[in-house]
Chains A and B, each alone.
Chain A
Amino acid sequence: MTTTSPIKTAPDFVPAPPAAPAGKRGGRFKLGAGQQLKGGPFTYVALIVVGLGSIFPLYWTLVAASHDQQRVLDSPPPLLPGGRLWSNLQAAWEQAHLGKAIVNSVIVAGCITVATLFFCTLAGYAFAKMRFRGRGALMTAVIATLTIPPQLSVVPLFMMMSDIGWGGKLESVIFPTLVGAFGVFFMRQYLLEALPYELIEAAKVDGASNIRIVWNVVLPAARPAMMVLGMLTFVQAWNDFFWPFLALNQENPTLQVALGQLSASYTPDQSIVMAGALISTLPLLLVFVIFGKQIVGGIMAGAVKG
Chain B
Amino acid sequence: MATTVPTRGAHTPPTGGSGAASNGHSKWRTRLWRFDDKASPYAYIAPFFLIFGAFGLYPLLYTGWIALHRVEMTSLNQSEWVGFDNFTRILQDSEFWTAVTNTFVIGVISTVPQLIVALGLAHLLNYKLRASTFWRTVILTPYATSVATAALVFALVFRADGGLLNWVLHFVGFGDTDWASGEWTSKIAISVIVIWRWTGYNALIYLAAMQAVPADLYEAASIDGATRWQQFRKVTIPSLRPTILFTIVISTIGSMQLFGEPLLLEGGTLGSVGGSEHQYETLSIYLFNYGWKLGHLGPAAAVAWAMLVLLLLIALINWIVGRLVRKSATA
Contacts from A to B (Cβ < 8 Å): 15, 17-22, 24, 29, 31-39, 43-44, 46-47, 50-51, 53-55, 57-58, 60-61, 64, 72-77, 119-120, 122-123, 125-127, 129-132, 135, 138, 142, 145, 147-160, 162-163, 175-176, 178-179, 181, 184, 197, 200-201, 204-207, 209-211, 214, 235, 238-239, 241-242, 245-246, 256, 259-260, 263-266, 268, 270, 273-274, 277, 280-281, 284-285, 287-288, 292-293, 295-296, 299-301, 303-305
| Distance (whole angstroms) from the CB of A279 to the closest CB of chain B | 10
Given contacts A39-B128, A300-B207, contact A130 B40 (CB under 8 A): yes
With beta carbons under 8 angstroms apart, the residue of B36, B127, B283 that contacts A209 is B36
A19 to B12, CA, bound (A): 38
Interface residues contributed by chain B, number (CB under 8 Å)? 121
A20 near B8 with CB under 8 A, answer no
What are the 6 A-B residue pairs with the smallest beta carbon separation, nearest first? A153-B59, A292-B137, A39-B127, A156-B62, A176-B55, A239-B146
A145 to B284, CA, bound (A): 19
A51 to B135, CA, bound (A): 7
| Distance (whole angstroms) from the CB of A302 to the closest CB of chain B | 8
A245 to B260, CA, bound (A): 9
A207 near B14 with CB under 8 A, answer yes
Q: Which residues of B contact A207 (CB under 8 A)?
A: 8, 13-15
With beta carbons under 8 angstroms apart, the residue of A127, A241, A305 that contacts B242 is A305
Q: Which residues of B contact A64 (CB under 8 A)?
A: 153, 156
A157 to B292, CA, bound (A): 13
B60 contacts A by Cβ under 8 Å: yes
A33 to B255, CA, bound (A): 32
The digit string for B194-213, where 1 denotes a CB below 8 A from any CB of A, is 00100011001101111111
B280 contacts A by Cβ under 8 Å: no
Q: Which residues of B contact A15 (CB under 8 A)?
A: 208
Given contacts A156-B301, A246-B292, contact A119 B149 (CB under 8 A): no
B59 near A260 with CB under 8 A, answer no
| Distance (whole angstroms) from the CB of A154 to the closest CB of chain B | 7
Q: Which residues of A contact B257 (CB under 8 A)?
A: 149-151, 242
Q: What are 18 contact pairs spanning A and B, CB under 8 A?
A: A21-B241, A33-B210, A36-B127, A43-B124, A58-B153, A123-B44, A155-B66, A158-B291, A160-B62, A179-B48, A242-B284, A259-B149, A263-B155, A263-B267, A277-B149, A280-B148, A295-B137, A301-B208
Q: Which residues of A contact B146 (CB under 8 A)?
A: 238-239, 241, 256, 259, 280-281, 284
Within 8 A of A (CB), among B110-142: 121, 124-129, 133, 135-142
A130 to B71, CA, bound (A): 46
With beta carbons under 8 angstroms apart, the residue of A150, A178, A205, A287 that contacts B144 is A287
Q: Which residues of B contact A147 (CB under 8 A)?
A: 249, 253, 311, 315
| Distance (whole angstroms) from the CB of B178 to the closest CB of chain A | 14
Within 8 A of A (CB), among B36-63: 36-38, 40-42, 44-45, 47-49, 51-52, 55-56, 58-60, 62-63
B149 near A131 with CB under 8 A, answer no
B48 near A130 with CB under 8 A, answer no
A299 near B204 with CB under 8 A, answer yes
With beta carbons under 8 angstroms apart, the residue of A274, A287, A301 that contacts B156 is A274
A72 to B241, CA, bound (A): 45
With beta carbons under 8 angstroms apart, the residue of A43, A184, A304 that contacts B127 is A43
A154 to B306, CA, bound (A): 14
Given contacts A24-B214, A34-B215, A126-B45, contact A153 B242 (CB under 8 A): no
| Distance (whole angstroms) from the CB of A261 to the closest CB of chain B | 10
A252 to B238, CA, bound (A): 50
A34 near B213 with CB under 8 A, answer yes
B209 near A303 with CB under 8 A, answer yes
B8 near A157 with CB under 8 A, answer no
Q: Which residues of A contact B71 (CB under 8 A)?
A: 159
